[in-house]
Structure 1
Amino acid sequence: MPKQPIAEAFGFPIDNVSEEADRYRKLRLCPFNNRIPNCTKDKAQDPLGVCSIIDGDKLAITCPVRFRQDWLIAEDAARFFFPEEASWTSLAEIRLEDGEGKSAGNIDLVLVSYDSRGRILDFGSVEVQGVYISGNIRRPFEEFIADPIGYRTRGYEGKNYPRADYLSSSRKRLAPQIIYKGGIFHSWNKKIAVALHTAFFETLPLLKEVSKEEAEVAWFLYDLALDGESNRYRLTRHRTVYTKFEDALVQITRTNAGPVQSFVALLQEKLDEKLGESAPDAPTLKDMIEGKS
């Protein structure tokens, strides 16, 4: 197939020509347990039905709902949060408030364990993070939906070719989520699970790992494995990384500083330019105190 950026549209690879795939595209359906049957990404009336993109030789999950396939993330998180014999369920999109009653955002999933009378025994937070896209993914998506056969034949070479923006995804989304929402759960001594695809996690700083028993945060790393028989991707857990909360937060939010000499060289360059300008010398602080012009 010619080069193009879309891995999945409305849950199916673009070269899946089955009746089921065609039905999901025509009706704009989401097969991954969205809150309603339809895809609602970006715009409810005109959804951007791209679940994942092709980024180099890997796939990048761009829609957080994509992680809900078969509720694998809930099953994995429950094993981390609760004893094996616990009764539990998941609650989606739960509003979280800080100590002043202000909104700290919504929790993607909260898992709760309960007793035989339905009373809550314990709970934990599940944060799901897809990757931001740099470039324009809507244009190739609309070309595919308008003319699937032609798109498969010619591919896509338009301007602003879409790529995974891992840096923005971690700094602008993942880190703030962990700081604010994760910080509240940590203060309550509750565990946190974070669901990412493996390629995203590999762009983060190296995290100090601990045992499952010591862990306060579990990082569940998933990949999309192609099922050749159905020509569909299946969400599969690649591995789990267990960390302490504060250790992980420090590593993720820490900036890798470059050499100070490079910055000093830049300052020197700018200073040389300023001193070389023909503008009159600015008065010094001493001149102003002494009343000199």
Structure 2
Amino acid sequence: MVPLPRHPLAEVFGFPTTNFSAEAERHRQLKLCPFHNHVPTCTKDKAEQPLGVCSVFEGSNIVITCPIRFRENWLAIRDAATFFFPPGAQWTVLSEVRLNDRFGQSAGNLDFVLAAYDHLGKIIDFGALEVQAVYISGNVRAPFEQYMADPQQRANMDWSRQRFYPRPDYLSSSRKRLAPQLLYKGAILSSWGKKMAVAVESNFFATLPQMEETAPEYAEIAWLIYDLQYREQENRYHLTRTRTVYTAFQTALTKIITAEPGHLGDFLQLLQSRLDSKRENGDRQKSLFQLSEPHEWEED
């Protein structure tokens, strides 16, 4: 197992920070993406000065923070095709396909559409694959630029005491990205009777509400769950599917978009403490309001 560093960077331009092979050095120098970006170079955040961080450490876990990272060996594409189509089907893949609602308004772009076709090239079925990486809170560019200034000397730099240490933001990833994808894109696909696959990494999936599973033949959504597994002989991480969870569309959507309420008593306690604080600080006239005169309700 690779020793855990004291900084957040797991992979930079596709390689661990401690990998100084000729291939890794070339990717760092030329800012290359080894995971099938639409151009040879990394374009994350800024095309001219890309943020070449593919994944970060969270304790002993490795969390994928770039959606392009899921394209390694086109594994997620092949796994989605297995869910969408029967064995032996002919299919191809299209990326960034615009999806409109009935009014012609965009519901967003589908990351990938897999289309099956017959011997004449006519499309006979399709399914959509959405890829969900994890957002980051804090500043990941600062340690990235610090490392890139001198990779050999800073491969094991200590970033643990720096302000705004970057960490995975699972809640934003689900509420701001995943939930809208299911709500808009997924709803359209479901109304058409088409299947959807969602590629996520295992740490993120573990933070989602537990969803009721169904048999693959009845499923509308396949959750393709991946990890990055370290291969010591290569000093590299490789995308590996560890599990597939099959669900119906509506039950999964309801689980993800419905917040689990906390205890009412805890919220009342918070309100009471805020009120007490205002009273103790002498803000009674500014913050507390009452009717100047009693009001009598009249009944007809």
TM-score norm. by structure 1 comes to 0.93
Aligned residues: 289
Shift of 1:150: 2.0
Cα distance in 2 between the residues matched to 1:207 and 1:23:
43
Cα distance in 1 between the residues matched to 2:257 and 2:174:
9
Instruction: Identify the residue that residue 73 of structure 1 maps to in structure 2.
Output: 76
Shift of 1:288: 11
Query: Given that residues 53 and 65 in structure 2 are in contact (C-alpha distance below 8 angstroms), is that contact kept between their aligned partners in structure 1?
Result: yes
TM-score norm. by structure 2 comes to 0.91
1:43 aligns with 2:43: no
Instruction: Identify the residue that residue 286 of structure 1 maps to in structure 2.
Output: 295
Question: RMSD in angstroms over aligned alpha carbons?
Answer: 2.0
Range that drifts further, 184-193 or 252-261? 252-261
Gaps (5+ residues) in structure 2? none
SS in 2 for 1:265: helix
The counterpart of 1:277, out of the listed 276, 284, 293, is 284
Instruction: Identify the residue that residue 266 of structure 2 maps to in structure 1.
Output: 262
SS in 1 for 2:212: coil
Identity of aligned residues (%): 53
CA-to-partner distance for each residue in 1:69-115, whole Å, 9 max, x for gaps?
00001110001001111001110111111111111111111100001
The one-letter code matched in structure 1 to 2:292 is P
Query: Given that residues 8 and 57 in structure 2 are in contact (C-alpha distance below 8 angstroms), is that contact kept between their aligned partners in structure 1?
Result: yes
Instruction: Identify the residue that residue 201 of structure 1 maps to in structure 2.
Output: 205
The one-letter code matched in structure 1 to 2:155 is R
SS in 2 for 1:154: coil
Instruction: Identify the residue that residue 16 of structure 2 maps to in structure 1.
Output: 13
Instruction: Identify the residue that residue 232 of structure 2 maps to in structure 1.
Output: 228
1:237 aligns with 2:241: yes
The one-letter code matched in structure 2 to 1:139 is A
Point out 4+ residue stretches in structure 1 off by more than 6 angstroms: none
The counterpart of 2:95, out of the listed 89, 92, 95, is 92
Cα distance in 2 between the residues matched to 1:119 and 1:261:
60
Instruction: Identify the residue that residue 129 of structure 2 maps to in structure 1.
Output: 126
Shift of 1:284: 5.7
CA-to-partner distance for each residue in 1:8-53, whole Å, 9 max, x for gaps?
0010111000010010111111110111111111111111000000
Cα distance in 2 between the residues matched to 1:278 and 1:250:
44
Gaps (5+ residues) in structure 1? none
